[in-house]
Amino acid sequence: MAKYRLLLMPILAIGISLHVRAAEDINSPPNVELDRLISAGQYQEAYDLGKPGLLDWEGDEAFDFLYGLAALEIGEPNEAVFALERTATTATDRLLRGRARLELARAYFVTNNLTASENLFNVVLKSDPPANVRQNIEAFLQLIETRQNARESAFSWTLSSSIGSDDNINSATSNSLIDTPLIGQIELNQDGRETDDNFNNSSLAMAYNYPLDRNRSIDARVNLTHLDNFNTDQFDIDNLRGELSYLWGNETNQFRHGVSINQVNLDGEGFQDAVALNSSWQRSGSNGWYQSASVAYSQIRFDTGTGSESNNLRDVDQVLLTAGLTKIAGAFTQSLNLYHAGEDPENPNGGSHNGRSFTGLAYSVLYRLSTQHTPYLRISAQDVEHDDEHPVFINTIRSDDNQSATAGWFWQASRKLMVTGDVSYTENSSNIELFDFSRFRFQAGFRY
């Protein structure tokens, strides 16, 4: 951090005066003291002074700038970005807004958001700054270009775990008796009815990126997930997924083409395998707008081991199309996604009823309450239409409507540790009573 601070020192000394007022009451931010500590190079002390009152003082443009600068200097660049973005966007003082942009560009650079850093430095250059400021900005731009052209590989990993409760771990009906056209009323065994349990869900994600140049790279990802239901082993799930992708594009358009494999075990036994080809596109528009689209072709195959010989009737080939729109405005991030898929049975003789198409719409909104706390809400609706009549429920082609809602919270406890929690409810309505179900679950955990 020191070398980037020294390089920027002439920028910080361009004569911009930060107007801070003495605190009028106990609830006012301590801007005068923050300014004194920062001027004395006591950045940690300034950060420690501002941190406890962050929720109360956020939005004060002078406090946001001073706190963001202190956070940047002690090695908390992500926290600095949040604070400096507010000042750079909303400050009414033109000089303060200009200085906030310079510090924000530096924070973007430290967090390796090179495109945003480059764009913001260029914005300042267009304002015709003094010669020494221009010289140092150009030095930063050279560093950005060098880093963008660097071919350094990167490895990262994420560990997450949560515990919770689920009142329907197998997404099954609550009815114990079902009417069928052929044999009349039948009684479902316990495995076929909704089962409640507490659970632990843990996952490990690893990613390796190898840049070919500033616009192209190879990306490899592996994800391992284990769902352990405490009392019912029958529905424990292990999921292993690997993906290899080629990425290319520029600061506006990004493309990704890849192949993935997926293996699912149920209670320690083979259950399902899938191989997929996928391509996606994302565009970064102006004013916080983002657009995306993707297409994926998957071959989904079910295990035919002991006792599961007829599972091959469930094998399908799937084509999935997705389009998305995201808007970032202030503290809000809103996303809308539309998707449609068709699944053709691999074995149409006897398995035609497993062919289906489904269309869904999903909306989510995140609100950045502070640098640490982000509540969110997700809702979705899906319509599923099967291709042929069900072999047990003759003369009936299955049709389902599914709705779900999730409310959750992200708490960034530290730079690397996030605490998470959510509550979700799902309801599935079908024209075949056997497939009606509702599901309520809640969980809390961490991501590191």
* Residues 372, 167: Cα–Cα separation, whole Å: 31
**Domains of the chain, residue spans:** 29-150, 154-447
The average pLDDT across 101-119 equals 90
100: number of Cβ within 10 Å: 27
Placement of tokens 């990306």 in the chain = 219
The answer to whether the beta carbons of residues 291 and 285 sit under 8 Å apart is: yes
pLDDT at 258 exceeding the cut of 90 = yes
Mean pLDDT of the chain: 89
pLDDT at 307 exceeding the cut of 70 = no
The pLDDT value given to residue 9: 42
The answer to whether the beta carbons of residues 445 and 420 sit under 8 Å apart is: yes
* Residues 431, 437: Cα–Cα separation, whole Å: 12
pLDDT at 15 exceeding the cut of 50 = no
CATH fold of 154-447, please?
Porin (2.40.160)
DSSP string, 204-263: EEEEEEEEEETTEEEEEEEEEEEEEESS-GGG-EEEEEEEEEEEEE-SSEEEEEEEEEEE
pLDDT band at 56 (very low <50, low <70, confident <90, very high): confident
The pLDDT value given to residue 191: 78
CATH fold of 29-150, please?
1.25.40
Q: Per-residue pLDDT tens for 395-445?
A: 899 999 999 999 999 999 988 899 999 999 999 999 999 999 999 999 999
> Which region, left, alpha or beta, applies to residue 84 given φ > 0 means left and ψ of -120 to 50 means alpha?
alpha
Tell me the angle at which helices 61-73 and 31-39 cross, rounded to the nearest 10 degrees.
Answer: 30
* Residues 232, 362: Cα–Cα separation, whole Å: 31
The answer to whether the beta carbons of residues 224 and 246 sit under 8 Å apart is: no
pTM above 0.85, yes or no: no
User: Is 29-150's fold the same as 154-447's?
Assistant: no
